[in-house]
Chain A
């Protein structure tokens, strides 16, 4: 009995051991390939992760950005990939994007996922400073280089973070290439400025106001309006009372700007010059012919350098004009910064990429050198353009722009 029991017990013990062994082997068989898969993926490709506002208030501004990244990656990969000299080989690059729903907590959650589940090598930033500000924490936590894109507000640099840089110069400098377009214009004495109440627009408009003041124009109206403003009549009338020669409106959200412009036209606000920041295709379509001779900006200028050709090619591949969304040119700059940092690092080692990311000295469009200052700001400043006949005309270089530009002169 005792033996039997013992035997039975032994059988049971054996069975349990078998079971545990089998379970461990099964788990190993299931998990190992996943682990190897990740290890292989990490060794065989460069994985760049980020979020885009594919829903929520900023969704309209990011529509082509995912396809644009994929088109650029395809172009690079068709050429063999990015050379990592220390590894002695070229690796293909791949982007992973999630929808952050224009929500900072969601953005942070997804960047955490990109770091822990997708195990990306690099981060590319989301659209806008306030989403980037939330997402940045993931770069600190996981020590992953973070290439910010549409992000240039001071709050991003308040907290020390050696893992992030942006391509853009500070938001307050956004109009420093546009404002000089009007230099020497004796007919322009006053300016009125309006921004959508938001982190970016606040600094951008303030910077523009300072640039105009420095140029000798009197700022007769300078205000921010809430993000949910729908009726702009009072604002338009307040501006109209001051009869400004120049009106500047700055908003990342096209319909907000469209509503302002429609109501400004209705109420007879007729400035000599109208400047509309971030005026992409939605604004141009809504304004139709009445948008002609409005000054806007883009992150590239007309040219035929290999960089221009690449920008045009990837835009064409996704079926958009490079000016149709203001930040297309900025995304392209981010792709180039990523490639430049990887090539100079020669490895996917995070620390090496981080150092290369900070020490960039990238030459672009034949005349630009992209660098970062000690805080992590870059040198990207948009170039002035003019809306004319439903398309964008470059007003750069300034000498050419000044002679080519046709003032709006109050005509809608």
Chain B
């Protein structure tokens, strides 16, 4: 392989992994706080992508501006999702609650997909925002500006999330609930509210990734569940509850897809699962699991 091509593959893998990590952060946060594996996570990504596409199509505004406008809606959607569908399960025995949550979120995912499918009637199934930024060329290396912008936004969001978790009361409460729900409750933390907030934040992160997807490639009603599975691979690979692990997991998957796709495109999408199995065989608790 040509060195320049190798460098570009690596850059591409890291940029791609950053977007994966962003959405996986959301899934990890929700799981860490509430113990719920939200199988509808990818559907929120899909929904945000479609909403931004629709607004872009109608208003012609920059999709990144629209992303800012859609974020509060995404937060509200996640918050209400927890309040209406997840909270009622809270009083059940743990194993019943876990199974119920999987079924409820899976059901919600299927409903959201069907609704999106229905609303797509008579239009192109896959939606794509036509946005192109001039490529940065450094010597022989082409740096796709769009992906760089997206990666910059990912980093900004991750830093903002980090600061929120470390330096705000709500953030500390989120961490407390993640570490010890009963202890947090005894210290006066409203754990139910924190659950809903975690769902809200997680959904914003998924929605942001959805905007990236619709700008960079395309979004269709059926992309949700496969993406949720990929993000699940990332958080299990990184170690449940580890934000650093999620970041590294995202980049590993991105690099894996990039390199494998170079040699054999048909296997590019499968690499996430192969890497997951390989890493779990070596470290059963994931890269940063405790």
Could you tell me which residues of chain B, from 119 to 153, have a CB within 8 Å of some CB in chain A?
120-128, 130, 132, 135, 137, 142, 144-147
B127 touches A255 (CB 8 A): yes
Chain B residues, CB < 8 A from A267: 8, 135, 142, 144
Q: Which residue of A lies closest to B258 (CB)?
A: A234
B132 touches A237 (CB 8 A): no
* Residues 17-38 of chain B, each 1 if its beta carbon lies under 8 Å from chain A, else 0: 0000000000000000000000
CA distance A254 to B5 in the complex (A): 27
Measured as residues with beta carbon below 8 angstroms from the partner, the interface class of chain B is 35 or more
Chain A residues, CB < 8 A from B179: none
Q: Which residue of A lies closest to B15 (CB)?
A: A233
Q: Which residue of A lies closest to B144 (CB)?
A: A266
A226 touches B269 (CB 8 A): yes
A234 touches B126 (CB 8 A): no
B268 touches A226 (CB 8 A): yes
Chain A residues, CB < 8 A from B124: 59-60, 63, 254-255, 282
- Extra A-B contacts (15), CB below 8 Å, given A57-B125, A234-B258, A240-B5: A56-B125, A59-B120, A63-B124, A226-B265, A226-B269, A230-B216, A231-B16, A231-B217, A233-B9, A234-B257, A253-B125, A254-B126, A266-B132, A267-B144, A285-B130
* Interface status of B281 (Cβ within 8 A of chain A): no
Chain A residues, CB < 8 A from B261: 231, 233-235
State which of A69-77, A256-264, A342-350 sits at the interface with chain B.
A256-264
Indicate whether A268 sits within 8 Å of B135 (C-beta atoms), given known contacts A258-B128, A259-B218. Answer: yes
Q: Which residue of A lies closest to B2 (CB)?
A: A241
Indicate whether A233 sits within 8 Å of B118 (C-beta atoms), given known contacts A60-B123, A60-B125. Answer: no
- Interface residue tally for chain A (C-beta within 8 Å): 46
* Interface status of A58 (Cβ within 8 A of chain B): yes
A234 touches B9 (CB 8 A): yes
* Interface status of A85 (Cβ within 8 A of chain B): no
CA distance A265 to B213 in the complex (A): 17
CA distance A377 to B42 in the complex (A): 43
A63 touches B259 (CB 8 A): no
Chain A residues, CB < 8 A from B122: 54-55, 59, 63
Q: Which residue of A lies closest to B6 (CB)?
A: A237
B265 touches which of A102, A224, A265, A286 (Cβ 8 Å): A224
* Interface status of A229 (Cβ within 8 A of chain B): yes
Task: List residues of B whose CB falls within 8 A of some A CB.
Answer: 1-2, 5, 8-9, 12, 16, 117-118, 120-128, 130, 132, 135, 137, 142, 144-147, 213, 216-218, 220, 222-223, 226, 257-266, 268-269
Chain A residues, CB < 8 A from B226: 228
Chain A residues, CB < 8 A from B12: 231, 233-234, 237
B132 touches A233 (CB 8 A): no
CA distance A232 to B146 in the complex (A): 14
Indicate whether A234 sits within 8 Å of B218 (C-beta atoms), given known contacts A226-B268, A228-B226, A266-B135. Answer: no
CA distance A204 to B222 in the complex (A): 26
A235 touches which of B5, B120, B144, B265 (Cβ 8 Å): B265
A224 touches B266 (CB 8 A): yes
Chain A residues, CB < 8 A from B145: 266
A237 touches B8 (CB 8 A): yes
A234 touches B268 (CB 8 A): yes
Chain A residues, CB < 8 A from B257: 231, 234
Chain B residues, CB < 8 A from A154: none
Residue contacts A-B, CB under 8 angstroms, 28 given: A54-B122, A55-B120, A56-B125, A57-B220, A59-B122, A59-B123, A59-B124, A59-B125, A60-B125, A225-B265, A225-B268, A228-B226, A229-B265, A230-B213, A230-B217, A231-B216, A231-B257, A231-B258, A233-B258, A233-B261, A237-B12, A253-B126, A255-B124, A256-B126, A266-B135, A266-B147, A267-B144, A286-B130
